[in-house]
Structure 1
Amino acid sequence: MAIPDYQTLMRPVLEVLSDSGVLPMRDLTERISDRLNLTEDERRETITSGMSLIANRVHWSVTYLSKAKAIERPQRGHVQITQRGRDLLASVAEIRNSALEQFPEYREFYDKYRSNKARNRQLEEPTSAAPSAAEEDESPDDLIARAEADSRSVLAAELLDKVRTIHPSAFERLVLKLLAAMGYGGLGEHLHTGQSNDKGLDGIITEDKLGLDRIYVQAKRYGDGNPVTPEQVRGFLGAMMGKGDRGVFLTASTFTKNAREAAVGVPARIVLIDGEELVELMIDHGVGVEPIRVATLHRINEDFFDAL
């Protein structure tokens, strides 16, 4: 049989989880495979990256269901159904992306997904909530660019969720690794100074071997709904006083409007980076992510034929 698409798998995934409690993703994939009566050859079928096709589609099904809060991840690599997922099973005959639109958490996620897709394709936001098929007039270049943009939008959302779960001290080390990957401190060093009484400074980046040129770092691994306040920005500025005039304040959350205003018109150069900006920079500079596939396109080499 043909392995169903990830949307068709949403109901089987919820049904398996409703009877099983917490399951490792590998066990969930095996139970879905058994439920579908997949042959050994079908279970071994892979996508280009080498990941099994059924595991890949179960993964995407779980991803979208988790954005709708129908599934939760109680620990790394494990999933379980939520009460919302049970209610969804009882109330909706066909569970697809369109059915998940009823939940505000999913709409918020998918609105960002659609707006990013529209921006990358330089088109207006589509009116349909369901994912659209590729238009027939799209070139292979367009298709690859659109697929990359769509994948990046989902990756950014998952990466932000991941960053918000790590320990605050790990978050401080993460931002220092990111700034290093961006090229800061290439001739100096990156000092992690964050402690329980760090007085507003979590890191220092020296831009030269003698440490004469420094960037001060503050990192707040706050969750969604817990923004950085102007008092915290002013506290960071106070901690820098007399030490240097360049600083970066990074958070996994957001900055209030007043917090952003607190960084303007001060005798220091302060850059504020919120959670969404943070994960985009992580993807751009390969921090905490890894490539799974590189696509190479070819075109006719006119010089080759001209030289014949």
Structure 2
Amino acid sequence: MNNDWSKLKQSANQIPTNDSLLPYVLEVLKNGEEGTNHVIRTRVYDFLSIPEDIKNIKYPNYPDDDGILANRFSFSLSKLYKAGALVRPRRGIYQITEVGQRLLTQYGDQLTEKVLEEEPDYIRYMSELAERTERKSNALQEVNIDKADPEKVEIGKMVNQINNEIAIELLDKIRNSSPKFFEYLVVDLLVKMGYSGENGDAKITSYSNDNGIDGIINQDPLGTSTVYLQAKRYKEDNKVGRPAIQAFYGALAGVNADRGVFITTSDYSKEAKLYAKSQGIVLIDGIQLTDLMLKYQVGVEEAHQYTVFRIDNDYFELE
């Protein structure tokens, strides 16, 4: 591995590019230890002997910021995460994966963004991001948001982009959780959505006696209105088929129920969707699941809030 910073690809101001930093992030994490953004970039600074004057170059409008080079590490970390070369075991913490080790061994300091963009994990990530963006765009059009203030629309698009990326990471965490935790999660979500009613209750069923039903939500104290849940924690390429929906319908019939919600972290086959629709079963896929989790703040917390002002023309009418 090259350890001379001056040999890296640089922008006009001699600052190493996002692309050039990629292999060095993996290099300083190759022993498997975890690190924050700050720890990682400090190790890379030392490994490449990057001088202080380069590290301290700031954006003209943000003199108190960490600097341009520090900001570029954030982009590099994000790119490596999307390609599956890094994971985030905890908030703000990064760790190299088997994919990252393979890429480092195979490409060394020749690793580029183009290589990452050809990784299956990166392709899947961008495909899911595109689908989420399209769904949000269709939803905005349905409520005629396109006729609103153009500036407001642009801000909305930026917020959606950020939240879509958070939702993808959230779904990945859910897929790597235990099946039992996933059942607790979906029950918690439906309670937050108001399905348990004012005096109802919600619970998950025991494995030994679930009879094909993972959760039960009584919407009133007497249990006269009940929602039954089935939760399948599947990988993204493992779609729920019609047989699973038929089995759930059979479980609902066994308890004389007519209200069922099937939730998965993946998607449904066309046949499964048609059968569920004919039997009145509500289907929630992975994208819908995480969108609802963001909306009702289950497993997430608000990070930032910004206020956008507009002119109060009525005020000036007083003149």
Instruction: Say whether the fold is shared (TM-score over 0.5).
Output: yes
Residue of structure 2 in register with 1:14 after alignment? 26
Structure 1 contact 169–194 (Cα < 8 Å) conserved: no
1:276 Cα deviation (Å)? Answer: 1.7
Residue of structure 1 in register with 2:83 after alignment? 68
1:143 Cα deviation (Å)? Answer: 4.1
Q: Does 2:118 correspond to 1:105?
A: no
Aligned pairs, how many? 281
Residue of structure 2 in register with 1:261 after alignment? 274
Give the Cα separation in 1 of the matches to 2:217 and 2:70.
Answer: 42
Structure 2 contact 218–226 (Cα < 8 Å) conserved: yes
Give the Cα separation in 2 of the matches to 1:121 and 1:232.
Answer: 31
Residue of structure 1 in register with 2:259 after alignment? 246
1:264 Cα deviation (Å)? Answer: 3.4
Residue of structure 2 in register with 1:291 after alignment? 302
Q: Does 2:103 correspond to 1:89?
A: no
Q: Tell which structure's C-alpha radius of gyration is larger.
A: 2
Give the Cα separation in 2 of the matches to 1:119 and 1:256.
Answer: 18
Residue of structure 1 in register with 2:284 after alignment? 273
Matches within 5 A, 1:165-180: 165-180=176-191
Normalised TM-score (structure 1): 0.76
Give the Cα separation in 2 of the matches to 1:117 and 1:226.
Answer: 22
Residue of structure 1 in register with 2:95 after alignment? 79
Equivalent position SS for 1:210: coil
Question: Where do 5+ consecutive residues of structure 2 fail to align?
Answer: 1-12, 139-148
Structure 1 contact 68–103 (Cα < 8 Å) conserved: yes
Counterpart AA for 2:258: D
Give the Cα separation in 2 of the matches to 1:205 and 1:164.
Answer: 23
Cα distance change on mapping 1:112 and 1:218 into 2, 3 Å: closer
Cα distance change on mapping 1:283 and 1:2 into 2, 3 Å: farther
Cα distance change on mapping 1:116 and 1:264 into 2, 3 Å: closer
Cα distance change on mapping 1:140 and 1:74 into 2, 3 Å: closer
* CA RMSD across the alignment: 3.5
Give the Cα separation in 1 of the matches to 2:174 and 2:235.
Answer: 9
Cα distance change on mapping 1:161 and 1:55 into 2, 3 Å: farther
Equivalent position SS for 1:205: strand
1:288 Cα deviation (Å)? Answer: 1.1
Equivalent position SS for 2:207: coil
Cα distance change on mapping 1:62 and 1:231 into 2, 3 Å: same
Give the Cα separation in 2 of the matches to 1:297 and 1:199.
Answer: 52
1:239 Cα deviation (Å)? Answer: 1.5
Residue of structure 1 in register with 2:228 after alignment? 216
1:198 Cα deviation (Å)? Answer: 1.4
1:37 Cα deviation (Å)? Answer: 5.2
Structure 2 contact 27–104 (Cα < 8 Å) conserved: no
Give the Cα separation in 1 of the matches to 2:94 and 2:227.
Answer: 39
1:271 Cα deviation (Å)? Answer: 0.6
Higher helix share: 2
Equivalent position SS for 1:204: strand
Give the Cα separation in 1 of the matches to 2:127 and 2:104.
Answer: 21
1:145 Cα deviation (Å)? Answer: 2.3
1:249 Cα deviation (Å)? Answer: 0.7
Question: Where do 5+ consecutive residues of structure 1 fail to align?
Answer: 123-137
1:230 Cα deviation (Å)? Answer: 2.3
Structure 1 contact 194–201 (Cα < 8 Å) conserved: no
Q: Percent identity?
A: 34
Matches within 5 A, 1:107-256: 107-114=123-130, 116-117=132-133, 140-187=151-198, 188-241=200-253, 242-256=255-269
Counterpart AA for 2:269: T
Counterpart AA for 2:234: Y
